[in-house]
Structure 1
Amino acid sequence: MIKKTLVIALMAVTVGACKKEKTVTETTAPKADVSKAFNEMLDNYYEEGLILNPVQATFAGDNRFNDQFPNPLADETVNKVKAYYTKYKEQLAQFDNASLSDSEKMTKAILKWECDINLDAFNYKKEYFPIDQMWSINLMAGQLASGASAQPFKTVEDYNNWLQRLEGYLAWMQSAEEKMKEGMQQGYVLPKSLIVKVLPQLEALTVNDLDKHLFYAPVKNFPEEFSEEDKKQLTEAYGKMVSEKIIPAYTSLHKFMSADYLDAGRASSGIADIPGGKEYYDYQIKLYTTTNMTADQIHELGLSEVARILSEMEKIKEQVGYTGDLKSFFNHVRNKKELMPFTEPQQVIDNFNAIHDRMKPQIEKLFDVKPKTPFEVRRTEAFREKSASAEYNPGSLDGTRPGIFYTPIPDVTKYNTYSDESLFLHEAIPGHHYQISLTQESEELPKFRKTLWYSGYGEGWALYSESLGKELGLYTDPYQYFGMLGAEMHRAIRLVVDTGLHSKGWTREQAIQYSLDNEAESEAGIISEIERYMANPGQALSYKIGQLKIRELRAKAEKELGDKFDIRQFHNEVLETGCVPLALLEDKINSWIAKSK
């Protein structure tokens, strides 16, 4: 999983500095002039987007706006974001497809999708859910504050930039509390089961001991070249910021959410129980799958995929000689001591690096283009580890900051390795790291497409990557292959439980039990997952929908091209577009098949 939602949520201010765009009349302008005007518009869209979303710029490695943290909940910001997408939708309509190249046509279709889906979002009351246990801005801010994420802490200016950015973050925290109070009055409130998971995250940042406070961490890691005077000034400034502003802000928020907000929390689990919840879920399905599938269609697809994968799991159970039923085999896998061999967190990290080493000799057979961006495996930060899933954070556009695969290790003695190979393929190589890094390194794509994220494509590619394990020399251990089936089952179950929760009236407990009955994840892990789906409806659908589409396209290419099929070229075709809505990817692969014949 990649946590793009946190960055996307941060839309910001000061649009007035952008250039005024030209108007183009395609019917009279030569194609070269149209292309130039089109690309100028794309550049303006990208640059203005960075001003609107400066935290995304930081994650991309663009440090021009590192001191800015505009408040996405402020009316002024909302109006500017609406104006931004409206303006570019209107400008885009001026360019006729007949005047554009094939690549430009795809870019036009993608930008239209972006404008439409972002404008549609304003029809729903997402602002009343600014904080949850998994996806919200405060969790991303904690990562940045640690000094070990995208926000740089290499110069005195860097340190001062973060202090300034925190002022904007504090304004957001205050607005978040105000929006939740408004939401309480209108029936928009989180389920109680999610609120109680947020509380310890907030409480951990109310600690008064500065040396133990996450937001004070940069002070303990000054670069050696800093002068004593600079160190003293920054130490005082950070101490004052944390003790006088950060701690009181978290204390206030924790007090509110642990009392009034918790009391108002709803007992229901699904989003259908808020005003306009059905329509909101339909929007979320479209947002995350980039399809027009209905909740009922997805639910039925999930049930059929669960049945198919269960039959494959039965074969592994027989292969390892287990004589009980499949449900008891899940418990056998969950509790098998040989699959929980570690005593130190570093051993988990070392195991993932060993998986990487095993597959390196085979990677050339499937991929002839590999990213230059470096890659690391790290443990998830302690403050969010208990509620976190494994995830990938992209490297910077210039490749100076590595892509990072974060893995939570809340209790290393209970860490089960049975799914580690499939997890590495998904989060790391050739999953998110290849797909995102190659997109960012592309010299062909316009800038705005290098940081786009469509979950149906991106998570679909990562889940498809898990199926490449045998071709990459992995899954020689039947338990690791069972881990791959388990990971695929996990995503198939998501189709059932996400739609169950949000469109069929399922309770949290029903969804948990369905998962326990059909997969080998730990109960604690399943609870965390179900609560994740409750917090962000529809996101969990994207994986399987995207994977099935990429599998379908590969099978079609293999059948129609026969001996001419080259798996490396197929992977190039899929990856070179960057993130795109699935219908556009299908059009591209169909065109490639036709040309390759």
Structure 2
Amino acid sequence: MSTVTSASTEAARQPTAVDAIAERWVDTLCELDPQWATWLGRPGRTGEYGDLSPRGHAAYIEAARSTLAELRRAPAADAVDRVTKGDLEASLELDLEYDAQRLHLRDLNVLASPAQSVRDVFDLMPTATEGDWADIASRLEHLQGALDGYVETLRQGITEGVVPAKRQVRAVAEQCDRHIAVDGFFAELTEAPVLADGSAVPDDLGDRLSEGARAASEAYRSFGAFLRDELLPAATEADAVGRDAYALHSRRFLGATVDLDETYEWGLAEVARMAAEQEAVADTIEAGASVTRAIEVLDSDPARQLDGADALRAWMQTLSDRAVAELGESHFDIPDEIRTLECRIAPTHDGGIYYTSPSDDFTRPGRMWWSVPVGVTRFTTWRETTTVYHEGVPGHHLQLGQAVVNRATLNTYRRSVAGTSGHAEGWALYAERLMEELGYLDDPGDRLGMLDGQRMRAARVVIDIGVHLGKEFPGCASMPAGGTWDYDKAFAYMTDNVNMDESFIRFEIDRYLGWPGQAPSYKVGQRIWEGLRAARAERDGDAFDVRRFHSEALALGGVGLDTLRRALLD
């Protein structure tokens, strides 16, 4: 059995000067942006927002510069310090590089920019007490000010000529329209607020929430008008950000530097490899079947269908509970603090599936969320079995939850703040393949679903790098080779390599174009995780123990992938 230890079994490590700097940095983050306090489950100004104006950004950069200087002066007392110091230094240095390129001035995209985060934070806010609902009311009241500050930043970008792409501006304006609809998020959030015991909030608080919802909707209405009337005319037609900016984005999402041209060629080969694996599995589902035909067979199988969001949530919870119980007995030491994973239907309807970590004190457990699109009532299990493992155990919940548990060794920064998409999402894709190794995907339908997702992630590598670096289009089944990658070529390539409806594919491509470097971090991160395991096995020879490898890797908490490599191999 693995030997991942928890706070209850491991002797506490004496905090060092480096730990103190890291802890102060977390305090600074919470002070500058109270959304961090909500994420961490800390008390404080959780009914407020940070300053999203140029003044707020300047304050952040000054704090980053000061913390970096202090960190460089501090000696590392032990191996834990060396990891903390190296990783935090790299993160702060990257912040300063982003500032030098003024990239914050064009920070607007369809998935992960302030336009979304000021709304997304409500998903994490507790609703058990009157005080919790008062915090929600307060944050609704502050939302206008947050968006006003954000508009100041985007206006400065217009002045300096650092602007997002028109495609992103249009799409975010449409998101604003959905928020302000009569049945939009804010109206739904405050329609019938109740406390943990099922009782309604007091009338005066209910009135305040309703007024706050109207104010928040009006804030998004005016923000949408700014996007259409001011930012859109100034925005760039070009979706690509170019090699220099893309290299910076790639480093941020991986916590590692990779050869982008070699990675692009590897992505092409990986798409072909995934396609060949799918074709082989399709033949086991029905002799001679194409992948398309195999999907038809699976989709028509009543045993693989779920009707309604409640049935979906219950299925997710049952599968997740089974994975936690069985893997906790056989392959991982799963601490008691993270044996609870809540599966929930998200309050939004964008179609995404995602995980949120437990709060630092575990009063909010880890949660797996499914954002069900409006009108979708039927679901197929074969596509999503691997998703439950990706988001839950042994994926995100085991990795990120374990980091929160490990307070005896790791400071708050390492437990709950540090890390990259490549580290977290790479592990989650690695976890999917691990579940295949362990026999949990022996069902050919479930295995085809895993391969479908892995092929999509490989296609992302090709599209993302191809578009942003202006590479020559390699061709696909529905479009011949030649010319530079663009939106239409990306759509054709994606359509030929995934089994999704058109609206989802278009959202995915908008995501890649507006959030450069993030989408490839999944598959590239998986590649690095698998490479580290192979290198460790080669180094250790007969003494290699894969469970010990996993335990040591997870015990590090959140880190960039270059830091992970040094910690596991050096």
Native 8 Å contact 1:288 1:454 kept in 2: yes
Consecutive unaligned residues in structure 2, runs of 5 or more: 1-13, 471-483
Shift of 1:417: 2.9
Native 8 Å contact 1:358 1:474 kept in 2: no
Specify which of 220, 231, 237 is matched with residue 250 of structure 1: 220
Partner Cα separation in structure 1 for residue 449 and residue 316 of structure 2: 14
Q: Name 1:112's counterpart in structure 2.
A: 89
The answer as to 2:20 corresponding to 1:40 is yes
Shift of 1:190: 4.1
1:122 maps to a residue whose letter is D
- 256-265 or 291-300: which moved more? 256-265
Counterparts in 2 of 1:36 and 1:174: CA distance versus 1, 3 Å: closer
Specify which of 345, 348, 363 is matched with residue 312 of structure 2: 348
The answer as to 2:105 corresponding to 1:125 is no
1:283 maps to a residue whose letter is L
Query: Which structure 2 residues correspond to residues 16-415 of structure 1 after superposition, within 5 A?
Result: 36-75=16-55, 77-97=56-76, 100-145=77-122, 149-184=123-158, 187-207=161-181, 213-217=187-191, 220-222=193-195, 231-243=202-214, 245-262=215-232, 266-272=236-242, 278-323=243-288, 325-326=290-291, 328-329=292-293, 332=296, 336=300, 338=302, 341-359=305-323, 360-370=325-335, 372-373=337-338, 374-382=340-348, 385-386=349-350, 388-410=351-373, 411-413=375-377, 415=379
Q: Name 1:465's counterpart in structure 2.
A: 431
Shift of 1:541: 1.7
1:204 maps to a residue whose letter is R
Shift of 1:234: 1.4
Q: Deviations over 1:282-332 (max 9, x none)?
A: 110111122222432221121121122222222112222353555x45864
Q: Name 1:419's counterpart in structure 2.
A: 383
CA RMSD of aligned residues (A): 2.9
Partner Cα separation in structure 1 for residue 228 and residue 532 of structure 2: 49
Partner Cα separation in structure 2 for residue 559 and residue 524 of structure 1: 45
1:440 maps to a residue whose letter is V
Native 8 Å contact 1:460 1:544 kept in 2: yes
Native 8 Å contact 1:106 1:584 kept in 2: yes
Partner Cα separation in structure 1 for residue 523 and residue 445 of structure 2: 22
Shift of 1:556: 3.1
Q: Deviations over 1:69-116 (max 9, x none)?
A: 1213232x222211211112111222345xx21221111111211211
Partner Cα separation in structure 1 for residue 198 and residue 386 of structure 2: 43
Q: Name 1:10's counterpart in structure 2.
A: none
Shift of 1:379: 1.4
Partner Cα separation in structure 1 for residue 516 and residue 75 of structure 2: 36
Native 8 Å contact 2:22 2:411 kept in 1: yes
Provide TM-score, normalisation by structure 2. Answer: 0.86
Q: Name 2:411's counterpart in structure 1.
A: 446
Partner Cα separation in structure 2 for residue 589 and residue 144 of structure 1: 34
Shift of 1:413: 4.4
Q: Deviations over 1:348-399 (max 9, x none)?
A: 22222232355333443221244513211111223xx23x421111111111
1:271 maps to a residue whose letter is V
Native 8 Å contact 1:299 1:495 kept in 2: yes
Identity, % of aligned positions: 25
Q: Deviations over 1:122-162 (max 9, x none)?
A: 123333334432113343333444xxx32233444433333
Query: Which structure 2 residues correspond to residues 461-540 of structure 1 after superposition, within 5 A?
Result: 461-504=427-470, 505-540=484-519
SS at match of 1:169: helix
Shift of 1:501: 1.7
Shift of 1:179: 3.8
Q: Name 1:14's counterpart in structure 2.
A: none
Consecutive unaligned residues in structure 1, runs of 5 or more: 1-33, 273-277, 592-597
Native 8 Å contact 2:309 2:372 kept in 1: yes
Partner Cα separation in structure 1 for residue 210 and residue 359 of structure 2: 30
Counterparts in 2 of 1:356 and 1:259: CA distance versus 1, 3 Å: same
Q: Which has the higher contact order (CA 8 A, sep 6+)?
A: 2
Native 8 Å contact 1:142 1:215 kept in 2: no
Partner Cα separation in structure 1 for residue 439 and residue 137 of structure 2: 48
Native 8 Å contact 1:177 1:253 kept in 2: yes
